[in-house]
Structure 1
Amino acid sequence: MAEDRAPKGKSGEKTLIRDISFCGVPENGSNASMVDVKDGKIIRIRPMHYDWKYDPEKHMNPWKMDVRGSTFEPSMKTLIPPYSIAYKKRVYSPARIRYPMKRVDWDPSGAPGSTGPGGRNPQNRGKSKYARISWDEALDTIVSEMNRIKEKYGPTALLYQCDQHGENKVVQACHGAGRKLLPLWGGYTLQIRQPDSWEGWWWGSKHFWGCEPVGQGKQSNLLYDVAKNCELLLFWGCDQETTPWGWQGQLPSRLSYWYSELGIKQIYVCPDLNYAAAVHADRWIPVLPNTDAALYLAITYWWFKNGTYDKEYLKTHAVGVEAYEAYVMGEEDGVPKTPEWASPICGVPARVIKALAEEWASKRTSVVIGNGGPGIRGPYATEPARLQNICLAMQGLGKPGINQVKMIEWGLFDFPDQYAQPKPLRVPNLRTAYTGGHPSDTNHPSLPKTYVPKAILEGECDWWGCESETAPREDQFVHRFYPAEGCSKIHAVWTDSPSWITCWNSGNDYVRAMQHPDIEFMWAQHPWLENDALLADIILPVNTKLEEDDIAGDIFSGQYNLLFPEHKCIEPLGESYSDYEIVCMLADRLGLLEEYTGGKT
């Protein structure tokens, strides 16, 4: 799908199709974009028009939703977000790393923890300047340090940080191309990213209604169910005007306008008047951050008191109703969870809580989430997650128009029950061509991402669960320890996703951990000099996806499913390579290239 726009060469431009999205999971590319290139430079990025090369009448078979006298179907162009349109700025960013670099006061011949001239100076990570070095020096130093660390401590002394998210790459890898190499080398410790996107659902809802692997409700064809059957939508902590941008573009925005045109009422419950609430809400109910549990409890109190819930449904679909009712009505602890009780906690007036409860019970209502926002990722987020599920169950969860609906991640992991839009006959899946890491990957030993500073600074820690981002709920009862039995503490760090300090709390603790004398070597590979890369002893330059050949699909967008080759738009800047190419170079020096690549180019 790459061709010259002006075959005769009058303009000198050519147009190439690229997936410019940032989920970093091979099953779920999106945001197919037209990249216009002239004289080896990117001129502009714009939406891809589906009818650019194909006749809509002959070659396209779009899904349609015909409901209430109105039709909704995919548009004739991709609905790419500002992130994609402006990506040229990232490609040509002044922060691009163009050459291998070494920290000027890090000497690999120095003793572990040594300071001063000729030392490793770990205390200066994040403060030191860098000097350009050759690829040979960089790779030879990394391989030498890897083997030294393995010989002295064992292979599990190397922590590999390689979790999502990032540019959607397939053959060239997004993150985690080393996950296949390191077991061949002898082993490693894998940094596990907790299921932060789905925190409350993952730890809480999976014990309420199952719904593996992430704990959110089944999504099969729910966009049509909403259009046909819903009378009220409760957007709870959801901003579909911005949240889906990096993942799937702006179809959720179009849908929200259409739902309003169909006469479906939209109420937004969120602390801030977010972008979606500002343009779509029939009513905005501000709630104090992380107090949703009190609001849910008061709503169910009102339903129990007035009998406005689906008793017959609960008789056949739920257990433990009596115990929950006893708690809500105050029989268990002497505190009835009334609207008056909840109001000072959540900041919503008691009269509004009662009105919301009555409106919810009187209409076919679905709750709409964009993964849940901060309300599902804060402390004790398991409780609002399960309480939202309880509210839905009390009104007949699964009946027409009564569901938990997502405005993001349609088709997650290519699971059939995650396609909220009408599912196409065939869905391209590029998992077998992918060379990077995946949320379902496991490794022994592993270490939860947020425990990295504690493990290094204190020397030990323990936790429950977290074998992987998609581990079943039974794994939450497995007790794990650092260092794992028979394994070393961490003495070296390899990161190809250097964004710890900007994505998580306690960034200062992470900086202190990387400055700890136990960390004898740290190297990073990344396109930009930013975040954790500034702590590395050696930095390797990675190119952006517009500088390499690959293959891609567009699935998450929710419109037409696409499969297309991605031809290089421009030559790599400086001496940058793809993540996969860099790991291949390391594998070559370790004598593992043939085994790592399987003999494939």
Structure 2
Amino acid sequence: MTDKAANTRGAEAEYRPHTSHWGVFDARWQDGTLEVRPYAGDPDPNGIIDNFPAALRHQARIAQPMVRRGWLERGPGPDDRRGRDEFVPMSWDAVLDLLGGELRRVRDTHGPGAVFGGSYGWASAGRFHHAQSQVHRFLNMAMGGYVRSVNSYSSGASSVLVPHILGNYEELTKNNVSWEQIAEHTDIVLAFGGMALKNSMVAGGSVSQHVERGCMARAKARGCDFVLVGPLRSDLPEEAGAEWISNIPGTDTALMLALMHTLVTEGLHDRVYLDRFTAGWPVFERYLLGEADGQPKTAAWAAPITGVPAEEIVALARRLHGKRALIVVAHSLQRAEHGEQPVWAGAALAAALGQIGLPGGGYGYALGAIAYYGRRANAVPLPTLAQGRNRVTDFIPVARIADMLLNPGGPYRYNGQTRAYPDIKLVYWAGGNPFHHHQDLNRLRHAFAQVDTLVVHELAWTATARHADIVLPCTMTLEREDIGANSHDPLMVAMHKLAEPFGEARDDYDIFAGLAERLGAGEVFTEGRTSRQWLEHLYERTRTALAEKGLPAPDFNTFWQLGRLELPQAPDDGGEQRRFRNDPEGQPLPTPSGKIEIFSETIASYAEPDCPGHATWLAPQHVPTPEAPLFVVANQPATRLHSQLDFGGHSAGAKRRGREVASLHPDDAAARGIADGDIIRIFNERGACLAAARVTEDVRPGVIQLPTGAWYDPVDPEEEKPLCVHGNPNVLTRDVGTSGLAQGCTGQLTVAEVELFTGNLPPVRAFEPPVPARAEAEPAGN
């Protein structure tokens, strides 16, 4: 791979600093090829940085602005040709004029409440060129606001539940039990869903030190026991030396209840802690013992539900007693039907053990889910771009976008309210690929067909870009300057420009500046600053804070020349949960009772049948059937962040025959005549995809694991439910909420059948650009 204009500064062999969501690195051009090397201070660097060289000038990159022919010829309006139409190339001036006119039409005719600002925040590690901040700032300042989304696909259920029962969500996940504490204090870690290193290798912003593997190894060497509960052995690393309890997917709540039942009936629970620090335990205990519903939640009751023998459950409960025990519940468990319940039950189990607030003990919700959980916070603020004021108060839970577009004005329940979906005419997406992270992609295709206009900023031809009406090519992080940092990492990085923009790609900031000018908000949006001037302006906030602490505070030019700056970090003090344990009256939790709410009167008052007032076993409705006998676990990938740079060398190198790899147990493979390396078809009533089979005993029988992130590649987009030939599991998953409380996504689990694929193998074309129209069309009305 070469780049004629890449050598923008200095000698060819000079390494320059940069960073990403998956690690700090240096890069240089050598003999016309980009070389990357991880930051020398990282004890366990992430191989995803190796996606950059091949991705930088890949054919999947978008070279110039494009407009869908049908939209250009017929004008705005619903159109089921999205995703199947051809594109017409346009000049930047022409496309910005065209888009500026459409934005003005929607704003003036329907109001800013008819605009949905879509972005998922993972587009760049930079503090300024952060697509989510840029698009929200633009829509606020040039359009008067927009309909926003709340929560995330990762934690949609827990981020709504936790404030009711435990307090501040950010405090619980970021400033609670740390990896340092585990290495020094923890006796036993019971990890429901595990703590997979592929997840903690990435973080919003930057990450300079991957410490998880080393801390687990230190804890194990000291004598800490790790117990993994889940269907995948790989969800804890070898260094943990974990005992594996392989349960049926989606049954963790039942197992937790049985553990608590054993603790209570054998007098092993911490009654003093429960009386002083929790609210509602007596109500929950009546349910646990069967006094409320006639069914004691015994180990014998849980055994057939979970697939874990009763004697194993009892023995595990006894092992937890009297130990510095840490209960971990992975994000993955709440991305499923009734996802609130394992989060709540995990908190109740940790409370029953009396461990919450102790160093290395208690409740480590989502520990290991992302790199800035379980680490010290920075003691100075980071550069942050102000987004302005959104005058539109309407919002949706993030995973309900298809519901919103398909049911404008329709009612839905959320956090005790009955709300109505807004009527959206224009969707503006910058940063993110919903055809990766959303569920039931065939339904999503129909949803996007309903809007007047879909605008997308993208660096490559994702499926989202292919479904857009106006596609604006944006730069990759390597093609611009920025400042990289996150709130729980001690290194701030000067992200030097390493290559010239691909084709006619522009920074998101420059695109929005041009549009803002056309909408009469140019000066308000830019404040008269260039990108470099913004970096200098934003850096000053951190520099001033450092100077006030008497710490080294270099000016911007010095920082830029140095390339990196060490930031001070706050003490590892256990945060809100520790303060509450030490002083429950003086430092109450920000919950209605000021305590840990084992039973929540607030949630009970909402009367949601799928989310009662305490942790409850609610049998899932979506279970294996003769037609779909296998659970499908659609978890995060190991070789890329979500779907980013799926065409990069590291991601592509892990595929087999160009397909995503699906893992299944030898028993399930043998029953279907499948051998390792075969191409298989995974299918259910919602859709089907191809994948390459990996046969392994590291997966529970009855389960197939297919990671997300393979770009959606329908072999025949004209079909109602086309076969994805690349291996995107979201053609199989259901687009339903976790409950009426949170409406989180349920994309972690679904059910399907698997068979050997015996037909002619279709080629993977996900990374081939669409063929542009041969001649420019005239805009509608011209």
- Taking structure 1 as the reference length, what is the TM-score of the superposition? 0.80
Q: Contact between 1:97 and 1:541, CA under 8 Å: does it hold in 2? A: yes
% identity of equivalent residues: 24
**Which residue of 353, 375, 395 maps to 1:446?**
395
**Counterpart of 2:382?**
429
Any conservation in 2 of the 1:395–1:402 contact (CA below 8 Å)?
no
Change (3 A) 1:533 1:244: same
Structure 1 residue 391, shift from structure 2 partner: 0.8
Match of 2:55 in 1: 90
Cα 1:497–1:411 change in 2 (3 A) is closer
Q: 2:288 aligns with which of 328, 344, 352?
A: 328
Amino acid paired to 2:35: R
Structure 1 residue 409 displacement after superposition: 4.5
Residue 386 of structure 1 corresponds to 344
The aligned residue for residue 499 of structure 1 is 433
Alignment partner for residue 37 of structure 2, among 7, 31, 46?
Answer: 46
Post-superposition Cα deviations, 1:548-590, rounded to whole Å, max 9, x if no partner, equal 011222654x5xx122322211111111111111111111222
Aligned equivalents of 2:477 and 2:233: distance in 1? Answer: 35
Matches for 1:306-385 after TM superposition, within 5 Å = 306-369=266-329, 372-385=330-343
For residue 508 of structure 2, the aligned residue among 559, 565, 579 is 579
CA distance in 1, matches of 2:172, 2:479: 37
Q: Pick closer, same or farther for the CA change 1:245–1:217 going to 2, 3 Å.
A: closer
Tell me how far apart the structure 1 counterparts of residues 344 and 248 of structure 2 sit (CA, whole Å). Answer: 19
Q: Flag the 1:246–1:441 CA change in 2: closer, same or farther, 3 A.
A: farther
Equivalent residue, structure 2, for 1:55 = none
What is the Cα deviation at residue 423 of structure 1? 5.3
Secondary structure, counterpart of 1:523 in structure 2: strand
How far apart in 1 are the matches of 2:399 and 2:474? 25
Equivalent-residue separation in structure 2 for 1:253 and 1:442 (angstroms): 45
1:37 maps to which of 23, 29, 43: 29
Contact 2:328 2:363 in 1 (8 A): yes
1:419-441 Cα offsets, whole Å, 9 max, x none, are x34556x445122xx3669xx98
Please list, as runs of the form range in 1=range in 2, the aligned pairs for 1:35-434 lying within 5 A after superposition.
35-38=27-30, 42-49=33-40, 76-77=41-42, 79-107=44-72, 110=74, 112-113=76-77, 122-210=79-167, 212-214=168-170, 216=172, 219-220=175-176, 222-247=178-203, 248=207, 250-369=210-329, 372-396=330-354, 397-405=356-364, 406-409=367-370, 420-422=374-376, 426-427=379-380, 429-431=382-384, 434=385
Distance 1:160 1:478, change over 3 A: same
How far apart in 2 are the matches of 1:350 and 1:136?
69
Q: Deviations over 1:109-161 (max 9, x none)?
A: x3554xxxxxxx82211001223211111111101111122333233222221
Once the two structures are TM-superposed, the CA of residue 218 in structure 1 deviates from its matched residue by 6.4
Structure 1 residues 431-457: Cα deviation after superposition (integer angstroms, max 9, x where no partner): 2xx3669xx989422233333222322
Letter in 2 for 1:591: G
| Distance in 2, Cα, partners of 1:32 & 1:436 | 26
Residues 99 and 285 of structure 1: CA distance in aligned 2, closer, same or farther (over 3 Å): same
What is the alpha-carbon distance in structure 1 between the residues aligned to residue 391 and residue 37 of structure 2?
Answer: 38
Distance 1:101 1:410, change over 3 A: closer
In structure 1, the residue matched to 2:421 is 482
Correspondence for 1:68: none
Closer, same or farther: CA 305–271 of 1 in aligned 2, 3 Å = same
* Secondary structure of the corresponding residue to residue 284 of structure 1: strand
SS of the equivalent of 2:529 reads coil
The AA in structure 1 aligned to 2:361 is: I
Structure 2: distance between partners of 1:442 and 1:533 = 28
1:494 CA drift (Å) = 1.3
Letter of the aligned partner of 2:331 in structure 1?
Answer: G
Task: Tell me the CA shift for residue 284 of structure 1.
Answer: 0.5
Residue range with higher mean Cα deviation, 212-221 or 377-386: 212-221
Q: In the TM superposition, what whole-angstrom CA distance separates every residue of 1:46-95 from its partner, at most 9, and x where no partner exists?
A: 1122xxxxxxxxxxxxxxxxxxxxxxxxxx34643121232223322221
- Root-mean-square deviation (CA, aligned residues, Å) is 2.7
**Residue type matched to 1:482 in 2?**
Y
CA distance in 2, matches of 1:375, 1:347: 17
Q: Deviations over 1:394-417 (max 9, x none)?
A: 1112234422232344656xxxxx
Distance 2:272 2:391 in 1: 43
Matches of 2:185 and 2:161 in 1, distance apart? 28
Give the whole-Å Cα distance in 2 for the aligned partners of 1:509 and 1:494.
19
Equivalent residue, structure 2, for 1:511: 445
Q: For residues 250-269 of structure 1, what are the alpha-carbon distances to aligned partners after superposition, in whole Å with 9 as ceiling and x for unaligned?
A: 32112111211112111111
Q: TM-score, normalised by structure 2?
A: 0.62
Counterpart secondary structure, 2:302: helix
1:525 and 2:457 are equivalent in the alignment? yes
Is 1:565 the counterpart of 2:497? The answer is: no
8 Å contact kept, 2:479–2:500 = yes
Aligned-partner residue type, residue 228 of structure 2: Y
CA distance in 1, matches of 2:390, 2:272: 42
Corresponding position of 2:761:
none
Q: CA deviation at 1:531?
A: 2.0
Do the aligned partners of 1:156 and 1:490 also contact (CA within 8 Å) in 2? yes
Q: How many residue pairs align between the two structures?
A: 516
Equivalent of residue 457 in structure 1, options 397, 403, 406: 406
Aligned CA distance change for structure 1 residues 245 and 507 (closer, same or farther; 3 Å): same
Spell out, residue by residue over 1:208-241, the C-alpha distance to the aligned partner (whole angstroms, 9 max, x if none): 222x135845634633332332211112212332
Task: Structure 2: state its 5+ residue gaps.
Answer: 1-8, 531-782
Mapped partners of 2:527, 2:145: distance in 1: 21
CA shift digits 1:374-399 (9 cap, x unpaired):
21221211111111111111111223
- Structure 2 counterpart SS, 1:309: coil
- Tell me the secondary structure at the aligned position of residue 37 of structure 1: strand
CA distance in structure 2 between the aligned counterparts of 1:567 and 1:34, rounded to whole angstroms = 9
Q: Note if contact 1:102-1:130 (Cα within 8 Å) is conserved in structure 2.
A: yes
**Contact 1:103/1:536, CA 8 A, preserved across alignment:** yes
- 1:421/1:449 CA distance change after superposition, 3 Å: closer
Check if 1:548 corresponds to 2:508. no
Are the structure 2 counterparts of residues 529 and 218 from structure 1 closer, same or farther at C-alpha, using a change threshold of 3 Å? closer
Per the alignment, do residues 392 and 251 of structure 1 end up closer, same or farther by CA in structure 2, a change over 3 Å counting?
A: same
Q: Relative to structure 1, is the Cα distance of residues 214 and 278 closer, same or farther in structure 2, using a 3 angstrom cutoff?
A: same
Q: CA deviation at 1:354?
A: 0.6
Contact 2:62/2:461 (8 A) holds in 1: yes
Change (3 A) 1:326 1:409: same
> 2:145, 2:390 within 8 Å by CA — same for their partners in 1?
no
Change over 3 Å in CA distance of 1:239–1:334 after alignment to 2:
same
Contact 1:173 1:580 (C-alpha < 8 Å) held by counterparts:
no
Tell me how far 1:477 sits from its aligned partner. 3.2
Q: Provide closer, same or farther for how the CA distance between residues 215 and 336 of structure 1 changes in structure 2, counting only shifts above 3 A.
A: farther
Q: 2:340 & 2:303 partners in 1: Cα distance?
A: 21
| Structure 1 residue 331: Cα displacement | 1.0
C-alpha distance in structure 2 between counterparts of 1:351 and 1:20, whole Å = 47
- SS in structure 2 of the partner of residue 46 of structure 1: strand
Residues 176 and 496 in structure 1, CA contact (< 8 A), matched pair in contact too: no
Name the CA shift for 1:77/1:316 in 2 (closer, same or farther; >3 Å). Answer: closer
CA distance in 1, matches of 2:487, 2:26: 17
